[in-house]
Amino acid sequence: MRWFSFLLPLLMLAACGESRLPSPAESRELVVLTREGPTTYEIDDSGAPAGFEHDLVHLFADEIGVNVRFVVVKHDADIAKRLKKGKAHMGAAWLSPPTDPALQAGPSYYASANIIAQNENTLPVETPDDLDDKPVQVVAGSRQAMALQELRKQFPRIQISEHKRISELQLLERIAEQSGESALVDRAVLDIASNYYPQLQYALSVGSETPIVWLFPANADPVLVDQAKAFIESRRDDGTLARLVDRYFGHVERLSAADSLRFVERIRTTLPQYRTMFQAAQVNTGIDWRLLAALAYQESQWNPLATSPTGVRGMMMLTEDTADHLRVSNRLDPKQSIRAGSQYFSDLRDMLPESVREPDRTWLAIAAYNLGMGHMNGARRIAEGLKKDPDSWYEMKTVLPLLARPEYYERLKSGRARGGEAVITAENVRMYYDILSRYEPPYRPFAESPAAARANAQAERNSSPPK
């Protein structure tokens, strides 16, 4: 009978359909619910997961010495439902503090708001009264859906259209294409999407600013919750959180709507003439052709005849010395310019110390493309003197502008430089690259079948303007 008395509680739990997820300390695994989105978790072109929430959770898991298993769900409501059933340890998906007593908020690490987004050709919404009798689209099960339901208690004629199978970014694409008048979305998502779809406009803020938190079941292991709070606090204090925010969101407000609109239009009209040249440069350097194209656009707006007052010329705005070094006979020949400029950028990236990791290596190399490596090395020495990290783009962004101040550049062999301009260049390239990655697929020349290669070649010929 002893064995039966031991087995009885297990049978009762099974009969009730209950199961207990072992704590991370027991299983050495942190199970995290998330959803796909530009602020949370996405699969990049190489097939690897990335995103602000993804990276932050990994840092937390590393600190407490466990592995992470992400479970991707569709909506915020799915996260709440699964957490209450004990199917995960926490939720990390750009979430706000819960109103459900079965859930608890972890530490806050950002703040955002709900914003009505509209197409620029739509009659603007300026007050909640303007929403009466108007349809507003929203992602089902989201914080924004709940906010609209609350608002409709005051303005009962608001027409709410909830979408179950699309993301906020896809919803904003619909608004940009005028498949609807307005949508309520997260402000951070709109900040990102407005660069991809410059037809979008910010309208009304619905509700107050809300903290962004990790979510835990109310009966979560208190040790895990305390570890999360201590982790966020320490990462805020040591600057890690600020650097991660900068990595994913620091550049998204750099371009104006007019800049984004012009760039998206030139992707369609101008880029096809030079796409194969950038792809050939990728084969030679191993650098994503879209990053090289973004750099070229920042330099010349893809104008092969561009010339500056300082004498740099061509698509990649090469100096005469750089062109001679890389055996360019005609800087105005786009094929030669793209080949040489891409190689020069690759060389600059290789010159940086091994201690500089990606993506900081790339952004520092872009700034060096604008400044020259001599000035970059001078700025790195200034950073060391100021107790800043010369390997961090986040820190170097504040140091590079000092190259224009006499109290700094007079001590450097390289002399004065427009370091602020180099920061703007790198930040713009970051945004152009993000936009290109949204509109243009990666180039995988060795993965193509012969039939696909022929189809791509024909598509390239069809997309090129007549000569």
**Nearest CA among 130, 165, 162 for reference residue 147:** 162
Q: Within a 13 Å sphere around the CA of 406, how many CA atoms are in the beta-carbon half? A: 0
CA 333 to chain centre: 34
Under DSSP, is residue 226 helix (H, G, I), strand (E, B) or coil?
A: helix
Q: C-alpha angle 334/340/195, rounded to 5°?
A: 65
Order of all β-strands in the sheet with 159-163: 67-73, 29-35, 90-95, 200-217, 103-119, 182-186, 135-139, 159-163
In angstroms, the CA 315 to CA 291 distance is 14
**HSE, side-chain direction, 13 A CA sphere, residue 53:** 26
39, 192, 30: which is closest to 111 by C-alpha?
Answer: 39
Name the CA radius of gyration of the chain, rounded. 26
Residue 355, CA distances (Å) to 57, 389, 390 in order: 24, 11, 10
How distant, in Å, are the alpha carbons of 24, 273, 385 from that of 187?
33, 36, 38
The residue among 160, 120, 128 whose CA lies nearest residue 144 is 160
- 299 catalytic, yes or no? yes
Q: CA angle at residue 222 from 216 to 224, to 5 degrees?
A: 70
What single-letter DSSP state applies at residue 64? H
Instruction: Name the nearest CA neighbour of 302 among 330, 328, 277, 329.
Output: 277
Tokens of 344: 């020069």
Structure tokens at 353: 């110390």
Tokens matching residue 95: 């979430």
Distance CA 303, CA 288 (A): 20
Catalytic residue among 168, 181, 299, 395: 299
Residue type, 110: Y
H helix or E strand, kind and range, residue 298: helix 289-300
Helix segments in 134-288, DSSP class H: 143-154, 168-176, 187-196, 222-237, 240-249, 257-269, 275-285
Which positions are catalytic?
299
